[in-house]
Chains A and B, each alone.
Chain A
Amino acid sequence: AQSVAQPEDQVNVAEGNPLTVKCTYSVSGNPYLFWYVQYPNRGLQFLLKYITGDNLVKGSYGFEAEFNKSQTSFHLKKPSALVSDSALYFCAVRDMGSGEYGNKLVFGAGTILRVKS
């Protein structure tokens, strides 16, 4: 079964510093990986995805993620953090068991990002 792990419950970073939110995955076959962000009392917003191609994926709001097949990781990064980046971040993988057309997602438990000014 497909799964993702987010090893850190919370990440603290100072505004202007680079940030990394970690994600590792376990899949059979080629992974389809996603990052979403959730602000309080709101739904999830799509940040970026990796399907195939370049290992460095660029997404919304200046975020990027690096796919590393040998380490089975897909860490989210941003060169310079903003206070407004403070939110809950979820890594997800497509569950290939849902068939060619399913696309259901399996989410990690989430990582709270706190950016302090």
Chain B
Amino acid sequence: DTGVSQNPRHKITKRGQNVTFRCDPISEHNRLYWYRQTLGQGPEFLTYFQNEAQLEKSRLLSDRFSAERPKGSFSTLEIQRTEQGDSAMYLCASGRSNEQFFGPGTRLTVL
């Protein structure tokens, strides 16, 4: 257990529905990252927060995706109008300097 928690661990939804995932980072970490991992691939960067500021977003993050980190604590990742191609493992990581500590991930299945 790295100290980073994610909820839910699994989510099954129908195409077109909205979903929201939550990440609780290690409390003293000011940096928070979201990655997406599909089967047989390494994680791909989605977005990054330093405290409450969203400083970088990947081109992978279409306008259906939105992330927030109110008050620089937990973070949420919302996907609107889900598509089957959104099915993946969504990983959250937190860190202070060069290391990133990953949560267990949320596995999303879009039917």
Contact = CB atoms under 8 A, between A and B. Distances in A.
B41 A101 contact: no
Interface residues of B, number: 29
B102 A101 contact: no
B41 A43 contact: no
B100 A46 contact: yes
Contacts of A108: 42
Contact of B42 (A41, A90, A95): A90
Interface string B90-101: 010101011111
Interface residues of A, number: 27
Contact of B4 (A32, A43, A105, A109): A43
A11 to B, nearest CB: 16
Contact of A103 (B4, B31, B44, B103): B31
Interface stretch (B13-21, B48-56, B71-79, B80-88): B48-56
Contacts of B97: 103
A101 B43 contact: no
Contact of A105 (B6, B100, B103): B100
Interface string B24-58: 00000001010100001111110010100001100
Interface of B: 2, 4, 6, 31, 33, 35, 40-45, 48, 50, 55-56, 91, 93, 95, 97-105, 107
